[in-house]
Structure 1
Amino acid sequence: MKKLKSALVASAMVSVLALSGCGEGRGGDATADGDGDGFGADAVIGVALPQQTSENWVLAEDLFNDGLREAGFEPIVQFANAGVIEQQNQIEAMIERGASVIVVGAVDGAQLGTQVEAARAAGATVIAYDRLLTQTPDVDLYVAFDNFQVGVLQGTALLDGLAARKGEGPWNIELIGGSADDANSTPFFEGAMSVLQPKIDDGTLTVVSGQNTFEQVATAGWLADNAQRRMDTVLAGFYADGAELHGILSPNDTLARAALTAVDSAGLDVPVITGQDSEVESVRSIMEGVQFSTIYKDTRALVAETIRQIKLAQQGESFDVNDELDNGVTGVPTFFLPPVIVTQDNAVEVFDGDPILEPVMSEFK
């Protein structure tokens, strides 16, 4: 087990190092020039986070507060639980406080253009955290896990799980998408469909409801209730005649659990279902053989990388980048970390050392 864990960590580190050494990605050349000015060690750093819809966002709050203080900065970390307008107001207040850097985990990445323009005009550096800021040129850096690759891993896991648990195909599946106002949702879906669409085309997979576009399957606000209501409708409309549901593509753990609740209410067998975020309840479900997979995106690593980049800005140095993404207006210099697929087979090894999940794994060792 320790050898496998070491191999996983080594593989991830190699991926990060290899990526950070290149300047080209899906978006083309990626550069981020420092302006040479820098700022003081006691600078105010604003962190604007979205609603507290997953455990990872809650963890990020503590990690940013602790990590920024340890680095000598003065952090302002806030959630926009009331939505876009609250986040707009929070960013404006951070500008008034004289923040040198504003880190934005956007509620809606397309609705903050005025605020980040004002931040840049005031001399602040703008970093998009986890979610891309779109339709604005005023973004200095995007730090995230590779969201398209997350989707690829999810699509691959769904096929692997179907083959392992449901015998030979063809298989009936349904699709769930993330919230349309989250810029991550589209690459999640597109990455998964890059794997699944060929199997739909050749008849290996059938989306029985016919709902196979992102617009049809998106889940407003990433809310579990919205996903469950849609799945209740789909199951009642297309599976009440005895059709079997073999698999569900879910973009995260919260929506996976909502879908499983709908499946249980419909009296159907448990399907193979994917997830993301490695939430405690879903990790337990995986170990119990219910949910098939999740994606591990170590929030500790993402926050640490963001703070490392802030320190580069403090010193007036160029950001480290390994990709560039088109946000609809400009190419945004990007630093991607590699996501990790987790199933029952490798969960103990992957979560070794994680302060939240390792204790859960001890229940299954």
Structure 2
Amino acid sequence: MRGLALRGAAGLLALLLAVTLAGCTDSGGEGEGGLTIGLLLPSRAVPRWEKSDKPLIEKRLKELCPDCTFVYANAENDAASQRQQMNSMITRGVSALILDVVDPKALRSSVRAAERGGIPVVAYDRLAEGPISGFVSFDGAQVGRLQGQALLEGMGARADGGGVVMVNGDPSSPNAAWYEGGSLAVLRNEVRILKSYDTIGWRTENAHDHMSAAISALGPSRIDGVLAANDSIAAGVISALKSARVSPLPPVTGQDADLEAVQRIVKGEQYMTVYKPFRLETEAAAAMAVALARGNDLGALVSAQVDSPTTEDIPAVLLDPTAVTRETIGRTLVRDGVYTIDQICTPELRSACARAGLTG
């Protein structure tokens, strides 16, 4: 994937300024009462889509374009359903689409149909195929590197040639290979990859089955760490380890900073997660969609270009993720208002929170 990611506070400030300016830009002519922005999300298996992305995108769209109509659909991990949902929005004549694609190849024809209908498509979080007009995501290679680096830290002395199981994401998602590549760049010369699994649908139950199979095949004593691609997968991994009475638990990675994952980190069951400030991603996507719906150029909103298997030089915003461990929950997730201490520190976690320095 080609292009430079936004870096540091200056880059984030520039993005926020550009997003704000997008709300003040209008191509003139017709009023905006007829503009409709469609949002297509991939599933409910990963909590962030419904709990964070959808409400944040809808809120920002209304701020940037108060008269715009917002339409939404969730594909429930089914590419055929998402294709039908997208085609329905195209038939409806939406002004722009934000697409978090289930399967890029399966949706390629729908992206082409949108282009034929004069409807720009912003690929959100996952790089879609076909003639998309823009792309917003976090740097997936960096996500994987952060996971790999944290796993080595969590393994301590056992990182020197220790054994790791990788429970990766859904192979139909382009991000899964992106994350895996970043992780392997860190782990490949440091540890032994004992088993590697792909997790269809990023589903917790599938990850549980993979980890159970690994424990059965290897024995728990050989597993020094688990690279779990996201928090839903981590939940399945940890459940399988606990069901097999593995103690102490090996370090397990994650991604998305789901509340349940943060609580597992506090308890010492999960070693880390990757925090991706969703507000920045949602604001960038909303600004791109509104600008494109108004017929405006994306030049002021983007900082990079990427290539998909079908399209070159796609205008893009790639944001920086952050690793979160028990020691850094307070100065990342709590400081940024993602969760309050009361949300994290339920009564049964109060003592663990105190040991982690999380006190209200």
Answer yes or no: same fold by TM over 0.5: yes
The answer on 1:339 being equivalent to 2:321 is yes
Q: Which moved more, 1:345-354 or 1:186-195?
A: 345-354
2:238: which partner in 1? Answer: 260
SS of 2:236's equivalent? helix
The answer on 1:285 being equivalent to 2:264 is yes
On the 8 A contact 2:231/2:255 being kept in 1, the answer is: yes
The answer on 1:273 being equivalent to 2:252 is yes
1:354: which partner in 2? Answer: 337
SS of 2:174's equivalent? coil
Structure 1 distance, partners of 2:29, 2:340, is: 38
Q: Cα gap change, 1:96/1:293 in structure 2, threshold over 3 Å: closer, same or farther?
A: same
Structure 1 distance, partners of 2:216, 2:344, is: 36
Q: 1 or 2 for the larger relative contact order (CA 8 Å, sep ≥6)?
A: 1
2:73: which partner in 1? Answer: 78
Q: Cα gap change, 1:197/1:82 in structure 2, threshold over 3 Å: closer, same or farther?
A: closer
On the 8 A contact 2:202/2:233 being kept in 1, the answer is: yes
SS of 1:327's equivalent? coil
How far did 1:317 drift?
Answer: 2.5
Structure 2 distance, partners of 1:69, 1:227, is: 38
RMSD of aligned Cα (Å): 2.5
Structure 1 distance, partners of 2:115, 2:159, is: 56
Deviations 1:195-225 (A, max 9, x none): 00121xxxxx2233xx35xxxx211111111
SS of 1:318's equivalent? coil
How far did 1:152 drift?
Answer: 0.8
2:111: which partner in 1? Answer: 116
How far did 1:345 drift?
Answer: 1.2
Structure 2 distance, partners of 1:251, 1:306, is: 24
Structure 2 distance, partners of 1:338, 1:235, is: 34
How far did 1:41 drift?
Answer: 2.8
SS of 1:185's equivalent? helix
Gaps of 5+ in 2: 1-6, 17-26, 354-358
How far did 1:333 drift?
Answer: 2.2
How far did 1:18 drift?
Answer: 7.9
Q: Cα gap change, 1:16/1:305 in structure 2, threshold over 3 Å: closer, same or farther?
A: same
Equivalent residue in structure 1 for 2:60, among 63, 67, 84:
67
On the 8 A contact 1:16/1:338 being kept in 2, the answer is: no
How far did 1:126 drift?
Answer: 0.6
Runs of 4+ with >4 A deviation: 17-20, 36-40
Equivalent residue in structure 2 for 1:54, among 37, 42, 46:
46
Q: TM-score, normalized by length of structure 2? A: 0.83
* Letter of the 2:114 counterpart: A
2:198: which partner in 1? Answer: 218
The answer on 1:247 being equivalent to 2:241 is no
How far did 1:19 drift?
Answer: 9.0
On the 8 A contact 2:238/2:269 being kept in 1, the answer is: no
Q: TM-score, normalized by length of structure 1? A: 0.82
SS of 1:321's equivalent? coil
Q: Cα gap change, 1:229/1:38 in structure 2, threshold over 3 Å: closer, same or farther?
A: farther
Equivalent residue in structure 2 for 1:227, among 207, 212, 224:
207
How far did 1:340 drift?
Answer: 0.8
Structure 2 distance, partners of 1:114, 1:39, is: 30
How far did 1:239 drift?
Answer: 0.7
